[in-house]
């Protein structure tokens, strides 16, 4: 039995992420594209809309399903690979600086 995949609405994801303090942008990568050893000072979120990605961080590799949210902590080196053999579309967000500091 084949199960259908529900692709999340970009506007709904953006609304949710913005409410949680994250940006939300669309990335489109060709087959075989790799983002090697990326590291950011801010927390990140990622969600696959179509295609197949592999995310490697801290020695672990994950292949999130369409619509599955992946959290990437700040200052963690990670690699993102399009392993699906076709163009992949995914949402990407970074935690916005709120200007609030903890003392």
How does pLDDT run across 16-69, given as a tens digit for each residue?
Answer: 999 999 999 999 999 999 998 777 889 999 999 999 999 999 999 999 999 999
What φ, ψ does residue 91 adopt, rounded to 5°? Answer: -95, 145
Residues of the domain holding 32: 26-94
pTM value is: 0.85
- 25-29 vs 88-94, strand pairing mode: antiparallel
- Is position 20 within any domain? no
- Is position 4 within any domain? no
Asked if residue 102 has pLDDT above 70, the reply is: no
SS3 15: helix
- Residue 7: predicted pLDDT: 82
Total of domains in the chain? 1
- Is position 59 within any domain? yes
- Residue 4: predicted pLDDT: 66
Question: What band does 3 get if pLDDT is binned at 50, 70 and 90?
Answer: low
CATH of residue 60's domain is 2.60.120.10
Q: What is the mean pLDDT of the chain?
A: 89
- Is position 83 within any domain? yes
Q: How many Å apart are CA 82 and CA 88, to the nearest integer?
A: 7
Asked if residue 100 has pLDDT above 50, the reply is: no
- Is position 31 within any domain? yes
Q: Please state the rounded mean pLDDT for residues 3-12.
A: 82
- Is position 52 within any domain? yes
- Is position 101 within any domain? no
């Amino acid at each position: 039995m084949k199960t259908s995949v529900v692709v999340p609405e970009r506007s709904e994801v953006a609304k949710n992420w913005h409410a949680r303090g994250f940006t939300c942008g669309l990335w489109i990568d060709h087959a075989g594209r790799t983002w090697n050893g990326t590291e950011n000072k801010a927390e990140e979120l990622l969600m696959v809309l179509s295609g197949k990605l592999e995310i490697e961080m801290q020695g672990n590799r994950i292949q999130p399903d369409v619509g599955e949210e992946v959290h990437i902590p700040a200052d963690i080196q990670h690699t993102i690979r399009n392993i699906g053999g076709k163009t992949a579309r995914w949402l990407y967000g970074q935690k916005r600086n709120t200007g609030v500091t903890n003392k």
